A and B are shown apart, each in its own frame.
Chain A
Amino acid sequence: MSTHDSDHDDGHSHDAAAAHRHPPRADLGDTLTYYRAMEIGLRELLIDKGVFTADDVRKQVENMDSRSPAQGARVVAKAWVDPEYRKLLLQDGGEACVAAGFDRGPYKLVVVENTPDAHNVVVCTLCSCYPRWLLGLPPDWYKSRAYRSRVVREPRAVLREFGTEIPDHVTVRVHDSTADMRYLVLPQRPPGADGWSEERLAALVSRDAMIGVSVPRVP
């Protein structure tokens, strides 16, 4: 630090040390919006009243953060190798989650299957409904107004922007998750993965393929 670098120099210092100071970066506390303040107020009240504890809240956040698309990928890979399981998954997504060792989830899981003739893509135009118990938190773009308003109106153009070209002979089916259903796309098993183990297949299944903006490929 130079001798000129002082907190009491009225900010008139133009020396080298001053140039090295970084502007403060926004922290969580700097984004105390109306709704954030309301959430904190409500949470503290509920804790004070003994409805739940601070540790309960922390555990729930930790539990939510432990979910990831890897869970969904295991479900998909299992359906690729086991025709009976595939049938169950398409009939009763919740039961299929349980059979794979995961939670049934608080909502009905509707599984839509991609075929050589149809490609499915999921959106929630009203908010950000997503099978969080299975896939974890949705990506930020899934919650953006641009995705929500455009994918329902020009799905082929949006998919192209994601690098996914849907051929003309394939029907595009958009699924708008507006109420009590949650959706999982069962992608097609890619060519070139014959005889692969379930585990190896699961590694091909990305979050985006289960939303339907991408398709699994063998690298």
Chain B
Amino acid sequence: MSRSDSVEPRFQPGDRVEVRLAYPPGHVRTPYYIRGKAGIIERLCGVYGNPEELAYARPGLPRQPLYRVRFRQRDVWPDYRGRPVDTVDVEIFQHWLEAAP
């Protein structure tokens, strides 16, 4: 595969990001509960075929960087009853992420 088949990673571990608040139709692997939430890039997992394309037997190009993003549970669930330091890590593709202040 040539380099142009893959999107360059934009984020580094530690960067603050926000998940797009969007509801496109079709197969999407960004859970509803995490859309619109802000977290921190935990790691870059690699570059993978876009599942929103692969699900319809298309080639999944360009491949997208996939991150593990760490969210504080308190930021995800306003009524979270565990400890404030508790977290949830979710795998999110780059095209679902925006830089957050």
* Binary CB contact string for chain A from 178 to 207 against chain B (1 if under 8 A, 0 otherwise): 111100000000000000000000000000
Q: Is the CB of A181 within 8 A of B82?
A: no
Taken together as a complex, chains A and B put the C-alpha atoms of A54 and B80 apart, in Å, by 50
Interface size class of B (residues with CB under 8 A): 20 to 34
CB of B72 to closest CB in A, whole Å? 11
- Stretch with Cβ within 8 A of B (4 or more), from A22-30, A31-39, A152-160: A152-160
B30 x A178 contact (CB < 8 A):
yes
A86 at the A/B interface (Cβ < 8 Å)?
no
Q: What secondary structure prevails in chain A residues at the interface with B?
A: mixed
Would you list 6 pairs from A and B whose C-beta atoms are within 8 A, ordered by A residue? A126-B29, A153-B80, A172-B82, A175-B89, A178-B92, A179-B51
Residues of B within 8 A of A155 (CB): 82, 86
- Tell me if B86 and A171 are in contact (CB < 8 A): yes
Residues on A lying within 8 angstroms of B by beta carbon are 108, 110, 125-126, 152-157, 168, 171-181
Q: Which of A108, A110, A178 contacts B29 (CB 8 A)?
A: A178
- Inter-chain CA distance A153–B92, complex, in Å, is 18
Interface residues of B in 46-84 (CB under 8 A from A): 46, 48, 51, 66, 68, 73, 77, 80-83
